[in-house]
Structure 1
Amino acid sequence: MREPESEQSQQSTAEDRHASWLELFFDLIVVAGTAQLAHLLHGRPSLPDVGLFILLFLAFWMIWMCFTVYGNVIGDRARTWTMLLGMLGMAVLAASVAGVHEGEHQQAFAITYVLLRLVARRAWRRSGKMLEEWPIGQFTAGVTPWLVSIWVDGPARYWLWAAGLAIDLWTTLSASARKRQADAEARRNERTGHSPTLTLAQVDPVHLGERLGLFTLIVLGESVVQLVDVASEAGWDHALEFSGLAAFLLLVSLWQLSLVHGYGGVPNLRESALPPRLVLFLHWVTNGTLTALAAGLGAAMEHRHGQLPTGGRWVLCASLSVYFVLAVVAALVPRRTAQTPGEWGRLLGRLLPPLVLSLAIGLFGGGLPTPVVVWSLVAAAGWSLLGHLARPERTGLPNDA
């Protein structure tokens, strides 16, 4: 493991290490991917539709993360063609989403996923580094079910994909990831007779936070695209203006909570408050909910003169509810100092009402006009934001420095 850097060195790294032009170009694929994934929830989505969205979003995000942490650790030595191959493959994944219910598109998605994981693995091995916080970059046990699924038809293919992703999540979140990496390296050395050549690497938290935040900005941008698409084809009346303003204010609030008062796109999270692997997990859930929210806002704009269909209302309210759950978790989990009951009460008073309100609208808001639903969610997000605006120097927890 690397020796701890001096405070001056860390400060220099934080000031100098930013996303490169190659990384920014690579991130453009997120624009296409989130747009295609959000379309899975258009219309009247059912539970199987939501399940398929979660599955495909996780797969897409997993590939993006394999190449993102590679660039984070390797820096300027990252191979351009490796990143461009990843980008091309992710474009194929995005193009496969629209017809993913068809066998040909399913096979294309599975084959491309397997190939991209192998490309990422080869890149990591060539680098001579191991990343404890993202072991699936080096180890591909979770790829095996995907490989088998290429020759399987029907719903079993989706279950194999889910099994592969579950293996990868367990590998990432398991506390024994370091031991498994050491054991695998030891077995490789026994077979070859060579001395260990891999070194344990660490992520650059400042650079990683920037890349994760850029992903979140792109996802929020998909919501803006949804709103503009509807407005460009609709008659401009008071209902459009009223609903569009509400949706815009909701996105502004989420931008503030995720990026101004959060870290890596996760609301209420502070840098270094959690291990990187947990930050990455929260980032996946956060951006999955924001992508679903984009689809929900698009549906709200389309039904602005009446009531949201049940499926559309639940996509909108459930995604925002999960977002508020994450905001609560990110604020409560990394506590470092004892809090008085009054401080806990003030914190929960800022975090829980938005969650309760968004859940209540999802459960009991079937008879509400669409603009009322959206403005209620604006009020929920605004309530969560008020505490930060009142005391902008304090984020995450009471008594934080």
Structure 2
Amino acid sequence: MSEKPEEPAEERHASWLELFFDLVAVAGVGQLSHLVHGSTSWADVGLYVVCFLAFWTAWMCFTVYGNVAGGAARTMPVLLAMAGLVVMAASVTGVHGDHAKVFALAYIAVRVLSDRVWENRREGPRVLVDWPVAQLGFGVTPWVASLWTPEPWRYWLWALGVLIDLLVTFTLSGDRLALNLEAKMSSRRAPAVPATAAHLDTAHFGERLGLFTIIVLGEGVLTVTDAMAETPDWNGPLLWTAFAALAVLATLWSAALREGNGGIPYLAADRLKPRVLLPLHCLVAGLLAAFASGLGDAVEAVGHEHLEPSTRWLLAGCVAALAVIGALCGLRSGRHAWWAVVVLAPGLALPAVIAFSGGGLAPARVLWLLVLAAGAGLSGWFFDRRKHRHHRNRRTDEAERVLRLD
């Protein structure tokens, strides 16, 4: 009797709860981008980095929970975390004043809840091996101390907190944490359910990271749309600038999602461990969100026929940083070194020209130059495919020649 072939496992996608939870990222990214919208202060940029890291970390704590728990994820903790993230997002506009304490309190509450959600009385506690930050509160301690600390030291404590989380990400072993927890529980007199190690579903997790990137790119579309709506006179330069802005977003989308993985440009699947993948995703998402804010400034500047230096530096710096990340991830994913040169040459040269000597360029020209800079890797991929096809055809011709000789 012949055995029936095994049916392939059904591909898992984001649940309705996860998609509903992601709505809070829409509000958060939109509010956070306002910190650098039209700003010329490095202090605002630094505060944006810290607040974005905090918001992203809080969001990620429950994203990894939903990834591991799957259909067994508890709805109420996720909704409570969503409420906390909404408070964080709403507090961003007043983060320079009294709302700073509200932002910190909401962050602390979400982090405490993210630690408790992993407890299970029947099955025992689970330890997330791939990203133990979701269950450890070391980085929350400076945030608690900041509640009684005046400005500007409050923000330095926030920065210390996110720095501790980054150190935990790169240095702490989740497997060792699971063993320590199991040993601690076994030393108790009362019998306890042993701790179990939990791992991420990498295929589903890549989709969740990509959805966050789509949300960030969507903020760019919304920013361009709002800038157009607030402009009373529509003319050729305005439309040309808006089309250029959308072209840049489409180029970044193609590099990060069509040719990348998890929203990271040109990265192949399963090339990076989660403890490297997660901080890198946060960096890329933060760059894209800041870039989206700069696009709104570019459309609004059409009437002035030039961009402010801060806007030029913001747009150029984000594209240059994304080019470096894309080149490194492409090399990590097995692409050739010459391809990285194709990415880096225009990806660094054009933003440098825009930043240092692009004061006289119209906003549309700046954005179209950024399209060329951001899309260099896509053309490199095309020629890379042609090169592989040429080698494959050459090997086929040689094989046919050998057969004829035989």
User: TM above 0.5, one fold?
Assistant: yes
- What letter corresponds to residue 322 of structure 1 in structure 2? A
Query: What's the CA shift for 1:345?
Result: 2.3
Distance 1:108 1:44 in 2: 23
CA contact (8 A) 2:139 2:161 kept: yes
Residue in structure 2 matched with residue 72 of structure 1 by the alignment: 67
- Once residues 314 and 221 of structure 2 are traced to their aligned partners in structure 1, the CA distance between those partners, rounded to angstroms, is 17
Mark the runs of 5 or more structure 1 residues left unpaired by the alignment. Answer: 1-7
* Structure 1 residue 364: Cα displacement: 2.6
Corresponding residue for residue 387 of structure 1: 380
Q: Tell me the distance in 1 between the aligned counterparts of 2:387 and 2:93.
A: 43
- In structure 2, what is the Cα distance between the partners aligned to 1:96 and 1:394? 52
- 1:223-268: CA deviations, max 9, x gaps? 0001100111211101111101111111111110010000010001
Which residue is 2:284 aligned to?
Answer: 286
Deviation per CA, 1:254-295, whole angstroms, max 9, x where unpaired?
Answer: 110010000010001111011122111111000000000011
SS of aligned partner of 1:329? helix
Rg comparison, structure with higher value: 2
- 2:211 aligned partner, one-letter code: L
Give me the whole-angstrom Cα distance separating, in 2, the residues matched to 1:189 and 1:321. 52
Which residue of 198, 213, 217 maps to 2:214? Answer: 217
The one-letter amino acid paired with 2:221 is V
In the aligned structure 2, how far is the partner of 1:387 from the partner of 1:333?
16
Q: Which residue of 1 aligns with 2:399?
A: none
Listed as ranges, the matches of 1:15-54 within 5 Å are 15-54=10-49
Residue 4 of structure 1 aligns with which residue?
A: none
- Alpha carbons 1:124, 1:137 under 8 Å: kept: no
What does residue range 2-401 of structure 1 map to in structure 2 within 5 Å? 12=9, 15-102=10-97, 104-126=98-120, 128-174=125-171, 176-191=173-188, 194=191, 197-234=194-231, 235-305=233-303, 306-335=305-334, 343-390=336-383
CA contact (8 A) 1:216 1:287 kept: yes
Q: Give the equivalent residue in structure 1 for 2:402.
A: none
Match of 1:3 in 2: none
1: CA distance, partners of 2:364 / 2:380: 25
Check 1:179–1:388 CA distance in 2 against 1; reply closer, same or farther (3 A cut): same
Q: Distance in 2 between matches of 1:58 and 1:271?
A: 24
CA RMSD of aligned residues (A): 2.3
Instruction: Name 2:395's counterpart in structure 1.
Output: none
Give 1:298 shift.
Answer: 0.5
Work out whether residues 388 and 394 of structure 1, in 8 Å CA contact, stay in contact via their aligned partners in 2. Answer: no
Q: Is the 8 A contact 1:44 1:309 kept in 2?
A: no
Percent of aligned pairs sharing the same letter: 43
How far residue 46 of structure 1 moved from its aligned partner, in angstroms, is 1.1
- Structure 1 residues 156 and 347, CA gap change in structure 2 (3 angstroms): closer
Q: Report the 3-state secondary structure (helix = DSSP H, G, I; strand = E; otherwise coil) of the residue aligned with 1:349.
A: helix
Are 1:321 and 1:355, in contact at CA under 8 Å, matched by a contact in 2?
Answer: yes
Aligned residue pairs, count = 381
2:323·2:343 contact (CA, 8 Å) conserved in 1? no
| Superposed displacement of residue 191, structure 1 | 4.8
Tell me, which stretches of 5 or more residues in structure 2 are unaligned? 1-5, 393-406
Q: Is the 8 A contact 1:258 1:265 kept in 2?
A: yes
**Paired residues of 1:67 and 1:83 also in contact (CA < 8 A):** yes
Deviation of 1:196 after TM superposition, in Å, equals: 5.9
Is residue 141–residue 167 contact of structure 1 (8 Å, CA) maintained in 2?
yes
Instruction: Describe the SS at the equivalent of 2:325.
Output: helix
Q: Which has the higher contact order (CA 8 A, sep 6+)?
A: 1
Please tell me the residue identity of whatever aligns with 2:254. Answer: Q
Deviation (angstroms), 1:197: 1.7
Residues 171, 93 of structure 1: CA spacing in aligned structure 2 closer, same or farther, 3 A cutoff?
same
Change (3 A) 1:135 1:386: same
Distance change >3 Å, CA 186–CA 45, structure 1 → 2:
farther
Please state whether the residue corresponding to 2:375 is helix, strand or coil: helix
Q: Is the 8 A contact 1:125 1:138 kept in 2?
A: no
CA 1:141–1:38 in structure 2 vs 1: closer, same or farther (change >3 Å)?
Answer: same
Q: Conserved in 1, the CA contact under 8 Å of 2:342 and 2:376?
A: no
Deviation at 1:308, TM superposition (A): 1.1
